[in-house]
Amino acid sequence: MTERARADQGSTMGGLSIHVSKLLLVCLVVATAATGALIVTIVVGLPPSHPPPGPNGMPPPPPSLRPLATFPVVTGLFVLAWLSVVVVFSRDQILRRIRQGQDRPEAAFERIDELFTELRSQLAADRDRELRMLEERIAELTTEYGEQRETDGYLSGLRVATTEDPAAKVHAIRRDRRPGG
């Protein structure tokens, strides 16, 4: 049998191709055994709902809880077994899709390259547009800030000019950087 013929083994139901790998088969067997063990544990391990009466009309003895101790262990095995079935089935489907993608002709890859090129050009156009908008906003903020500073300076000068002793409140714009100055 060829490798391709082995890969085609499996059934197709509603567009879903199920390929039963050895690992999936083992997981299914273990999950089925865990389900049987859980059913047996539930049937055998649960105490009866109406215990038999005790001797001489006394109340019945308390039920033994020892069989219930195995119930969480068997339930955990049941959950893990079926979880492994789901994981292995998903893994098999992913690997099958990857193999199918590798068998496709080059035309599909060329179409993907075209889509990536188109996406890159759209991203570059969006980036350029956003950069222009950012430059305009920075220019607008810079102009607004300059006008605000100019207005603040004008108002400060008017306040100083209207006081009685203007020389007392006038501060030098540039500080003397000499030591001790």
Write the pLDDT tens digit of every residue in 83-125: 999 999 999 988 888 887 676 667 677 888 899 999 999 999 9
Evaluate if pTM is beyond 0.85. Answer: no
Pick 135 or 15 by higher pLDDT.
135
Q: How confident is the model at residue 172 (pLDDT cuts 50, 70, 90)?
A: low
Q: Is the pLDDT of residue 79 over 90?
A: yes
Q: 163: part of which helix (H) or strand (E)?
A: none
Quick one: pLDDT at residue 5?
45
DSSP string, 84-125: HHHHHHHHHHHHHHHHHHHHS-HHHHHHHHHHHHHHHHHHHH
Q: Is the pLDDT of residue 7 over 50?
A: no
